[in-house]
Amino acid sequence: MLTGCLLTADPIDPALDVPTGYRTPHSTAKAELPSAEWWRGFRSRELTELIDQALASNYDIAAAVGRIMQADAQARVTGAALLPILDASGNTTRSGTSGSGPASTPSSVHSVTLNASYVVDFWGRNRDLLRSAEFAASASRLDRDLIALTTMASVADAYFLVLEAQDRIRVNTQNVASSERILKLIQDRFNNGTAAALDVAQQASVVAIQRAALPPLIQQRDQSRATLALLVGRAPEQVVVRGGGMYRLGIPRVNPGLPSDLLARRPDVREVEAKLAAANANVVAARAAFFPTIQLTGQGGFSSAALRTLFGPGASFFNVAASVTQPIFDGGTLLGQLDLQKGSREELMQDYRKAVVSAFTDVEKALVAVEQLTRQEQLQRDAVAQSQKAFDLSEERLQGGTIDLTTLLTTEQTLFAQQDTLAQVRFTRLEAVVSLFQALGGGWSEKQGSPEAGRGRSSVPDAGRHSP
């Protein structure tokens, strides 16, 4: 009859509608999972070195490792309840009386005792608490993976910001030189009486505007270098970033695979899944607290008035006891704890659903950004080429004295603006590619197992299943 009361975990069905494919067409190539070292696809040795340093020395990752150690220790502490407790003790007591009456002869008692106790986990409460602690330890490992992925993406973004600033500084320097060259030509025409003072002032303002745009770019470059230093766990003075330009980088091609793969690959989804399984185990443990607690205790040892006969015949003793404790009235504490754990499980269920939908949303947004920014960069290159052609023709006509200076100023400012926009579009495209890798959960490694495990998944593990 008692075995019929054994508790089992409630089934958890998040009722997820996993799509069969992504809405955005990303490639005609066969879908595949990203490389485990996806950042190498940018073909930058310096970026690879920075990410390696961040993985080894980043403070957030190191703190996450400390939390893993705490979670593992907590699992061991929780699991200790499944084992018996043994302890040994020894004591010596000497007693006597004194006073107005006849004094008694002092006497001594020596004893050595071995104590044992064991709580019979008949209802599985301690086992469920251990499972909860193990799922929490798995969640802490997945949290470390999530922090590592975020750190790698942050390193890549900060590095690309350095390259963007370098490219824009280079373009700005060239534009200052071009505008100064035009200013000299207009100044010569003014000296010859073929240009007005207004023409000189307008071109001088273009030169001043280009010069004023340089300090913010230098600020961006230097501050991004300092950000990189923090991400790799070093002082800014100890980190040198050579950079070189965004156009030297490769653009890795990403075929994101099936949407259901995200359930097995994204560390944030898997972390919430582990937490949900831990919460389900806590619900079962809270329910088991309503049933009796069965405890076995035993004691054995030796006791003697003389130390030399402590282990002799007749000095031994033992006692064994069993006790059952049944909660009767606790003011609603146990019921409140059960409702508390159910509420926590319901909260994590919604967090899990949101994490899955957010994963699909992040990938779709990243695919759209990569597709459209690739097209925008191609069109922006055409715009720069046409603006450069118009500017070159305007400069030639200025030298020949056959152009209106207003037209020259227009083509000049258009070229400068389009060149700067191209650098910004290139950076945004690189950032979108990084965001896509991040949305896909990074790369896939063999130790994570087969991606097939995430396909067709309709429910999270229950409290009786261990997280990978």
Domain boundaries, the chain: 15-83+124-294+339-454
pLDDT in tens, 144-201: 999 999 999 999 999 999 999 999 999 999 999 999 998 998 898 888 888 889 989 9
- Specify the higher pLDDT residue, 314 or 359: 359
Q: Write out the two tokens for 203.
A: 């071109």
Of the ranges 27-41, 120-134, 163-177, 393-407, which one carries the lowest mean pLDDT score?
27-41
Residue found by looking up tokens 């980088």 in the block: 249
Distance of CA 92 to the CA centre of its chain: 58
Q: How confident is the model at residue 417 (pLDDT cuts 50, 70, 90)?
A: very high
Q: Cβ(93)–Cβ(109) under 8 Å? A: yes
The residues near 301 (Cβ < 8 Å, ≥ 6 apart) are 111, 112, 113, 114, 316, 317, 318
Q: How confident is the model at residue 108 (pLDDT cuts 50, 70, 90)?
A: confident
pLDDT for 407 equals 83
pLDDT for 467 equals 34
Interatomic CA distance for residues 108 and 91, integer angstroms: 10
Q: Write out the two tokens for 245.
A: 């330009």
Interatomic CA distance for residues 267 and 144, integer angstroms: 9
Interatomic CA distance for residues 239 and 59, integer angstroms: 16
Residues 290-302: b if buried by 16+ CB within 10 A, e if exposed: bbebeeebbeebb
Q: Write out the two tokens for 272.
A: 């919430």
pLDDT in tens, 41-53: 999 999 999 999 9
As a whole number of angstroms, the longest Cα–Cα distance in the chain is 137
Q: How many residues does the chain have?
A: 468
Mean pLDDT to the nearest integer, 411-434: 95
pLDDT in tens, 335-352: 999 999 999 999 999 999
pLDDT in tens, 436-459: 999 988 865 544 443 333 333 334
Q: How many CB atoms lie within 10 A of CB 155?
A: 24
User: CA 283 → CA 221, 293, 328, 459, distances in Å?
Assistant: 52, 17, 20, 17
Superfamily of 15-83+124-294+339-454 according to CATH: Outer membrane efflux proteins (OEP) (1.20.1600.10)
Q: Is the pLDDT of residue 432 over 70?
A: yes
Q: Is the pLDDT of residue 98 over 70?
A: no
pLDDT for 384 equals 96
Interatomic CA distance for residues 421 and 423, integer angstroms: 5
Q: Write out the two tokens for 440.
A: 């896909």
Q: Cβ(11)–Cβ(235) under 8 Å? A: no
Q: How confident is the model at residue 395 (pLDDT cuts 50, 70, 90)?
A: confident
